[in-house]
Structure 1
Amino acid sequence: MNEEESLSRAIYEEVAIFPYNKNWPLLFEEERDRLLHLFPGRFLAVEHIGSTAVPGLSAKPIIDILAGVEAMQCADALLEPLCQAKYTTSMEFNASLARRRWLMRWAEGRRTHHLHLVVYDSQEWQQRLAFRDKLRTNSGIARNYEQNKRAWAAEFSSDREAYTAAKSDFIRGTLSSAI
């Protein structure tokens, strides 16, 4: 399989939830260290977010990384160098995002990492960490989220956008009830 075919498979892969894997934190650490080595001083902080950052939670086996930058101009300036460092992205998709930039890493036709570039300590930064921390500290919410994710994955197995929209509604509801 050539690189273009592999990327296409990664973009259109089916949404599937897997049992928690104790290697997910290690995979995050390896990629965080790689990014910090490749781009010294460019990130103010790098955090593991998403379901793979919650011990015991089933998830899509994609490591979500939150990287804090000084300003969105810094994120924009990193897009091309990150693409040279084994990430890929959609400039069109990123143009539709006001408060973040998104990239993915893939191997053998499947996504392995999502990289979210946001302004450090912004509302976007704080919300993403708040949701992760809520899942880590409240097993009831984590179980409810996992059950919903399984249902959404079954319903939207071939529609990532619908799956993501369903998750976003749950996340917003969880964060608004915490305020």
Structure 2
Amino acid sequence: MTSPNVILKNYDPNWELQFEEEKRKVLSVLSGQQIQIEHIGSTSVKGLGAKPIIDIMIGIDQLDEVDALIKPLSTVDYEYVPKPELTDRRFLRKGKWGQGTVHLHICEFKSNEWIEKLLFRDYLRENPKIAEEYMNLKKNLAKEFQFDRQTYTKKKEPFIREVITCAKSKFY
């Protein structure tokens, strides 16, 4: 399977509405579960361009609870995608491979995964200049790795780690 193309879009205010609609659907099939839902990733930062894929993070108490969530989530079109390399979260998507419209990340509340994803999002929301730097990096990488989303994602990692380090020093 080849890597899907990297296509960045300008910020779309409908992304927030899409998130709210997906959140409503998820809550409708997971009612009674102890979960928390957050909009993460670039689509959650006003003004920031992104791949038009809504990233949603669900926090749960224990990662072994995910198995019980897969079937209910499938009723609202989420497909579980086993990724052995992801040891601290589970991944589901809505849409075909490489053409997904929503990515669902499930991890434990207060885990590093949970904390760092929120720190990164919140830091970009509060620091428009850093968000602009991130967008410039993404544009350059998208040009260079247009046909290799995996490498595009990997090359963003040093910037993301640096932002998380800055955010931790500010918030902790």
Give the structure-1-normalised TM-score.
0.86
Secondary structure at the residue paired with 2:107? strand
Gaps of 5+ in 1: 1-7
Using structure 2 for the length normalisation, give the TM-score: 0.89
Q: 2:64 aligns with which of 60, 73, 79?
A: 73
Residue aligned with 2:141, SS: helix
Q: Does 1:120 align with 2:123?
A: no
Task: Report how far residue 120 of structure 1 moved.
Answer: 1.3
What percent of counterpart residues are identical? 41
User: For residues 22 and 57 of structure 1, what CA distance do their matches in structure 2 show?
Assistant: 10
The number of equivalent residue pairs is 168
AA in 2 matched with 1:130: L
Unaligned runs of 5+ in 2: none
Give the aligned partner of residue 3 of structure 1: none
Superposed CA offset, 1:24-67 (max 9, x none) = 00000000010000111325210101110001111110000011
Q: C-alpha separation between the residues in 2 aligned to 1:96 and 1:82?
A: 22
Counterpart for residue 101 of structure 1: 90
Residue in structure 1 matched with residue 54 of structure 2 by the alignment:
63
1:65-94 deviations in Å (ceiling 9; x for gaps): 011111100123323442343112332x1x
CA distance in 1, matches of 2:78, 2:57: 14
Spell out, residue by residue over 1:103-143, the C-alpha distance to the aligned partner (whole angstroms, 9 max, x if none): 11116x72110000010122211110000000000011100
Q: What are the residue-to-residue correspondences of 1:147-162 with 2, within 5 Å?
A: 147-162=136-151
